[in-house]
Structure 1
Amino acid sequence: MGDVLSSGPDRPPWRPPRRLITAAAAVALSAALVVGIVAVSGSDEKTPAAPLNSSSPSPSGSAFPDGPDAITRAGQTPGLVITGLPLPRNATLIKRDRRAYEGPSTVVLRRSDGSLGRHGAVVTYPVPRPQGGRPVHVGSVSGRALEREITWPVGGSYARVRGDLPQSELIAVAAAVGVVSGRPEVDPPPGLSVTATGTSRPSSIHEARYSSRETGEADELSGGLTFTGVARCGGLEDQLYATRVQTAGTVHGKPAVVTSAFGGNGALAWEPVPGVVAYIGYSGAQLDEGAVAALRRLAARARLLSPEQWQATGPTTSDQTNDFGTPG
């Protein structure tokens, strides 16, 4: 951006007092520091940051009010906050994986009665050569089968399908996989449909962190950390099939599951829109029925923010490898 200058009408030159020059220099220095701080925070989405609207106050203001979920457009990663709680400064975080697109790709399939982590399967390609399992035939090639997963050679490497479907259906999915330009494509067998495609690792994870005492659920979650998260990738669901989950009713009408796959002592996860996984987790106390009930109460107060609203919370950006769903 060029310097902003103006030239007014001709008049004798004016020399400002020394005291005014000193004050102006201090103002300019303060402005430069503010610009530098904003530049460091970075941006996860390709859309410009915008201030929170009147129904979404800043983190240093009053608590987030209740309200509808923000509309999530294709390819966007929203944020998730707990209404009724203020966000402390530096409480929001973008975990960015700049090399996620260099890693494996996934295809998520489900039955008509399927939901996140239930009645479906995830295809991941490429994955390492299998080291164990019993032999199974996948079309004209030989693969290896473990409980809830099959790995087989295809496209010059190996692919894996994990899910809670019967093994015969997992084999049918595997036989329907092809590789085009280094990415898996699936012609779904009867009874299944593709619900999402993309990277195995999320390119970004949007997290917000709260003191469990501030949430009002310290009796069940202890005085540790409560966190919300949102990500889009097939690796999250792949990990649900790898670790097993328990159903936990619904969150805003969407089937939810409880899992320990996202870190901490446990988390409640659901899919607010296809391909987007939202979760609320905690650390500090044993995962039991009381903790699950507390997570459900917090999830009922959760609200999605648009990428613009999320950026306005001033998230810190951390470059790392988001290893949800890494092959293994």
Structure 2
Amino acid sequence: MGDLLSNGPDRPPWRPSRRLIAAAAAVVSSAAVVMGIVALNGPDDQRPRAPESPSAAASSASSGAAFPPGPDAPVTAGQTPGLVIAGLPLPRGGTSIRRDRAAGTGPLTVVLRRTDGSGALGRHGAVVTFPVAAPSGGRPIRVGGVSGRALAREVVWPVEGSYARVRGDLPQSELIAVAAATRVASGRPRVEAPRGLSVAATGALWPAQLNETRYGSRATGEVDELSGGLTFTGVARGGGFEDALYATGAQPAGTVHGRPAVVTSAFGGNGALAWEPAPGVVAYVGYSGAALDRGAVDALRRLASRTRLLSPAQWRATGPSTSDQTNDLGLPD
């Protein structure tokens, strides 16, 4: 993906190859940092919120006044909402729409989750992607009647003249079972979910539209934990976000508005807190500045509890800039 923080502080780039070795080390470090975060299940902000019209959103954005609280906009199928932090003014030019016009011509995904209630964004599930590049390493395995390769958290195997991949935090035997249950028809992956799993979402690997908001961290009131860098929010559709969570080993981080959340370094900056407000839709609050530690995660949780989803009309009313880019997160297909 084009740099999420393109107008903010520098951040280390992610490169598409030789990443999994480095990611493994990062996962160990991240797990140590956020160990025990699952216990941070404090109550979400449940204060009553009054409805707001798109014109009111535009007024707040143009006047520099604090963006008012309000109910989350319903997430309509196929549409991408915006995400703002209530109580903070929107900086001039702080909202943007990043369009990837080629997203629909790239790889496609099927997201699977456990059916026992434990499945959530980046937890107890898997993402099937087709097509992907041929594997460059890994242990030989059998997937149905063909030879595949097993790597860390993933299985890659040949199908329909190319290769498919299933990546997740399930046991390897279950990843192989998902691979064996995958067929490709008219270029689209289809999965007959094995027992205990269900299909949660389907679609392109990378989002056709990524809606972002950027704030100065000093304005958020969390400068002590996040430093004086950049705080950002984002919303997007696409299995690639969840695939990236499995690739980097996201850790559980309580809930946001009643939805299970994870903490990750996959979305740019030093870290981000991500959750799924609706199936196939990923929302997150992240920052660039101080090191990712327990205090930073607490600060992200506080900010996430203040977020509200905006309808596409409300989002357009904030006057977002629009640009074309590749929304690939810098990870391999």
TM-score (ref. length: structure 1):
0.83
Once the two structures are TM-superposed, the CA of residue 58 in structure 1 deviates from its matched residue by 3.1
Residue in 1 that maps onto 2:69: 66
Q: Gapped runs of 5+ residues in structure 2?
A: 1-51
Distance in 1, matches of 2:292 and 2:331, equals 25
TM alignment of 1:223-302, pairs within 5 A: 223-302=228-307
Give the match's secondary structure for 2:150: strand
Q: Higher relative contact order at CA 8 Å, sep ≥6: structure 1 or structure 2?
A: 2
- Indicate which of 162, 173, 182 corresponds to 1:157: 162
Q: Which has the larger radius of gyration?
A: 1
Once the two structures are TM-superposed, the CA of residue 103 in structure 1 deviates from its matched residue by 0.7
Q: Gapped runs of 5+ residues in structure 1?
A: 1-49
Deviation beyond 2 Å, 4+ runs, structure 1: 53-58, 324-328
Once the two structures are TM-superposed, the CA of residue 327 in structure 1 deviates from its matched residue by 3.2
Change (3 A) 1:325 1:196: farther
Distance in 2, matches of 1:187 and 1:229, equals 32
Residue in 2 that maps onto 1:86: 89
The answer to whether the 8 Å contact 2:57/2:317 transfers is no
Distance in 2, matches of 1:107 and 1:327, equals 17
Change (3 A) 1:111 1:56: farther
Give the match's secondary structure for 1:86: coil
Change (3 A) 1:97 1:312: same
Once the two structures are TM-superposed, the CA of residue 87 in structure 1 deviates from its matched residue by 0.4
Give the match's secondary structure for 1:188: coil
Once the two structures are TM-superposed, the CA of residue 51 in structure 1 deviates from its matched residue by 6.8
RMSD: 1.4
Partner amino acid for 2:73?
A
Report percent identity of matched pairs. 72
Count residues in correspondence: 279
TM alignment of 1:84-233, pairs within 5 A: 84-112=87-115, 113-233=118-238
The answer to whether the 8 Å contact 1:231/1:277 transfers is yes
Once the two structures are TM-superposed, the CA of residue 102 in structure 1 deviates from its matched residue by 1.1
Distance in 1, matches of 2:302 and 2:164, equals 39
Residue in 2 that maps onto 1:25: none
Partner amino acid for 1:80?
L
Give the match's secondary structure for 1:308: helix
Partner amino acid for 1:90?
G
Once the two structures are TM-superposed, the CA of residue 157 in structure 1 deviates from its matched residue by 0.5
The answer to whether the 8 Å contact 2:253/2:260 transfers is yes
Partner amino acid for 2:66?
A
